[in-house]
A and B are shown apart, each in its own frame.
Chain A
């Protein structure tokens, strides 16, 4: 069994002397759980269209520290403006203070790396870590067992963090055949507000495996905007799970942008625990060649009068394969739920393939839930129209594709990020000669 190798790797790692008691305990329980679970297979309903055997076949040892070769210029390729944003840079899974920078922060706001949090706020970690994302799923268990670094953000009551916090995970050549298991924990207390951008980028790491887990606690009346930009290398594997809980009147907005990795899986789960909470899950993925990207969202309406809005779009070129599974669960208590989900896929390549499964599970009667899904190619009438106006072939297709994607990008509320991602897409779809 391939997954058993991870137990050996786990045992081989020296026990962390500095760690407080709870952490080794958590990790041992996680590896034991992973051992029992193994990697999911396509027989698992949640992994029906995505085979992780390319990950399971290989053994990705945890990344080791190496001499730093990443420069500020490298970092600049993945930051969105020459901005004043807070920036935390991780290289091959480890925090790099020399590349990071902090703008002015309210004294009560805590932005810590994992190591700092263990020293400064161990009780916070002990209390929260692993409670939102328990090690029930194989990849979450694996992350918990091997997490070495990450970010902890705590925004106290009533504080609004104006400046976005950007967490950049970079990999370089040292990451080849290694695995990174970064972990994020965000706690926004009552009426707090914070914006988080997590970017995954590669500077030529070859075949590596990123397995990220984020836990987000959105308190009463709080608002968290959470952007994830996945631009891993084309040979990389990426699995990311974000799990949020929301108290009453809170807003959680998660945006996922994915163009990287040969095989990726992005899970975004939110539990609406308090009345009148709102969740927005949006996403855009653009694939080419033989890339495979799987997105799963799960919204649990536990409390009444909450709303969920979801828009996911996919562009599939070459022989790429896109998977979308959007689940909405409405508890018997969750009356007056308002749920809306849409999912559109654009098939460009001859061998492209898409599997989508929007799913509703509703146990309350006074609800309004809809979902819509479409799969199709570029509108021929629109192409003809453009042709009649002198915009021919390639260029018309490129513009229409771009327009299809731009609709989702409009949902990004950070202008500089929107502009940057537009540019990334533009470069991808509009060949320079047609501009």
Chain B
């Protein structure tokens, strides 16, 4: 079965090209001056600069966390560029004026910013290095009162909303990478869904790192006002480079009473080559706060990045609120992932569900790290956790670190975990029905991940399944 697969082993990471655009970057290095410079570039109001500076001060006093189950060389924070923008982008342009070179880039990535060709029902905010290139479908959204724009734009046009919610879920002092992000974040997306509005389109942000030695530090803030609903998608890619690039993002979600937010990610940053050279260091803080009767759902498909460190969490603040986490994390070659979730039950009758599927192949190391915490006041809390790992090849590793902390005797928690390899008997069965080994494996893997994929919006589910196939190519045989 190896020959057909071997031919695919060397298949290139298809998003690994570099776009040749002139970029306007600030000098390498990080100091208070850098923070001021970024803030000034973006014409930010004084309160935001103050907030950034506070975060920077805090960051300087913090040390990089070493507890994750990943190994990497020390990051030189002075060797990074913290702001880089394609020269041709000026804020608040209409899409017609976007540099055709950039539009081409997105087309190559399969994301059409051209509205006629867009997938119906999806609005896209395209982020290129440190800035937003453009946002589609704005008019349509405006009719419903939905605000969907780049973060920089939101700071200038809706400062009251940004000021109210920025840092309310992930404070700047939260952790090392969140503090770094708070100090130097460049752009990101901002979403506000007004009271009682069901967002008519899927909202989507596409992140692209292009410039070399540049970190990407985007910040996404989603606010669903009372009774609102939104489904948000996020995708990301980066060119192939032999150096590691840093990506430290923060995503905050606020779901006010009776609101629902569904956040889906297909993470496909460049993962480095077979020997672990290059690739993105993905250190991300994602958290949502769910108020009374609201629901926050995270779905993630993590196939890229050399290192992933990411725990999308839900603070179940309000009574009867619900948190969900569905994840598929794939590591191949020398990739390492330490990912999972945190569900903090504070309100009464709060519910959480965690379904995590880890697939390890090649020399990959995959860790699930999750925390379910029931505080003493959270009467009637309920959690169901299932984390399964699949091992392909004998050089990889799968690890599980669940923390279950229960402080209320009316809580009911269940946790299940299993680790196994693809059964020879399953492959044999498929083969005797006429499938070749490769198909058999992709079928088995797809079945293993089905519970998570069914949570993804349709377009993404297809993409995810293909991605999974590509990520695992060459891992069997």
Contact = CB atoms under 8 A, between A and B. Distances in A.
B396 A365 contact: yes
Contact of B404 (A45, A349, A367, A373): A373
A370 B409 CA distance: 26
Contacts of A159: none
Interface stretch (A82-90, A103-111, A249-257, A350-358): A350-358
Nearest to A368: B420
Contact of A367 (B395, B401, B412, B421): B421
Contacts of A355: 403-406
A363 B397 CA distance: 4
For B389, B410, B417, which residue has the most chain A Cβ atoms within 10 angstroms? B417
A360 B400 CA distance: 5
Contacts of B407: 353
Contact of B410 (A332, A364, A377): A377
A434 interface: no
A359 B367 CA distance: 10
Contact of A365 (B376, B393, B400, B416): B393
Interface in A338-376: 345, 347-376
A375 B413 contact: yes
B371 to A, nearest CB: 10
Contacts of B93: none
A350 B418 CA distance: 32
A366 B407 CA distance: 38
A374 B406 CA distance: 11
Contact of B399 (A357, A362, A368, A375): A362
B400 A358 contact: yes
A372 B357 CA distance: 16
B200 interface: no
Interface in A215-242: none
Contact of B411 (A45, A370, A376): A376
Contact of A369 (B67, B376, B401, B418): B418
Contacts of B158: none
A143 interface: no
Interface string B46-78: 000000000000000000000100000000000
B125 to A, nearest CB: 39
A335 interface: yes
B391 interface: yes
B409 A349 contact: yes
B365 to A, nearest CB: 9
B100 to A, nearest CB: 48
Contacts of A367: 391, 419-421
B87 interface: no
Interface in B390-440: 391-421
A428 B412 CA distance: 24
Contacts of B392: 365
Nearest to B391: A365
Interface in A243-283: none
Give the secondary structure class of A's interface.
strand
Given A367-B419, A370-B419, A350 B400 contact: no
A359 B397 contact: no
B70 to A, nearest CB: 14
Interface in B355-398: 376, 389, 391-398
Given A375-B413, A376-B412, A360 B419 contact: yes
Given A358-B402, A360-B399, A366-B394, A377 B412 contact: yes
Contacts of B401: 357, 359
Contacts of A316: 409
Interface in B179-214: none
Give the secondary structure class of B's interface.
strand
Nearest to B365: A363
Contacts of B397: 361-363
B404 A360 contact: no
Contact of B416 (A335, A352, A353, A370): A370
B421 A366 contact: yes
Contacts of A376: 411-413
Contact of B394 (A350, A359, A364): A364
B394 A365 contact: yes
A357 B417 contact: no
B184 to A, nearest CB: 29
Contacts of B416: 370-372
Interface string A316-347: 10000000000000001001000000000101
A342 to B, nearest CB: 10
A366 B403 CA distance: 26
Given A365-B393, A369-B419, A372-B415, A357 B402 contact: yes
A374 B404 CA distance: 9
Nearest to B388: A370
Contacts of A49: 405
A323 to B, nearest CB: 10
B458 to A, nearest CB: 33
A361 B405 CA distance: 21
Nearest to B405: A355
A351 B376 CA distance: 8
Interface in A369-398: 369-377
A198 B408 CA distance: 34
A357 B402 CA distance: 5
Interface string B19-60: 000000000000000000000000000000000000000000
A356 B404 contact: yes
B328 to A, nearest CB: 18
Contacts of A354: 404-406
Contacts of A353: 376, 405-407
A374 B421 contact: no
Given A351-B376, A355-B403, A356-B404, A362 B409 contact: no
A373 B406 contact: no
Given A332-B394, A367-B421, A375 B402 contact: no
B409 A357 contact: no
B391 A357 contact: no
Contact of B418 (A363, A370, A373): A370
A349 B415 CA distance: 22
Given A332-B395, A366-B421, A367-B419, A347 B411 contact: yes
Contacts of A332: 394-395
Nearest to B418: A370
A221 B376 CA distance: 49
Contact of B415 (A335, A365, A373): A373
Nearest to A350: B409
B391 A375 contact: no
Given A359-B401, A375-B404, A352 B391 contact: no
Nearest to A333: B394
B81 to A, nearest CB: 36
Contacts of A363: 396-397
A371 B411 CA distance: 20
A375 B376 CA distance: 14
16 contacts: A332-B395, A348-B409, A352-B409, A355-B403, A355-B405, A355-B406, A360-B398, A360-B419, A361-B397, A362-B399, A365-B393, A368-B418, A370-B419, A375-B412, A376-B413, A377-B410
Given A359-B399, A361-B400, 5 more contacts: A347-B408, A353-B405, A355-B406, A375-B413, A376-B411
The 10 A-B residue pairs with the shortest CB-CB distance, nearest first, are A347-B409, A365-B391, A373-B415, A360-B400, A375-B413, A370-B418, A369-B419, A376-B412, A363-B397, A356-B404
Interface of A: 45, 49, 316, 332, 335, 345, 347-377
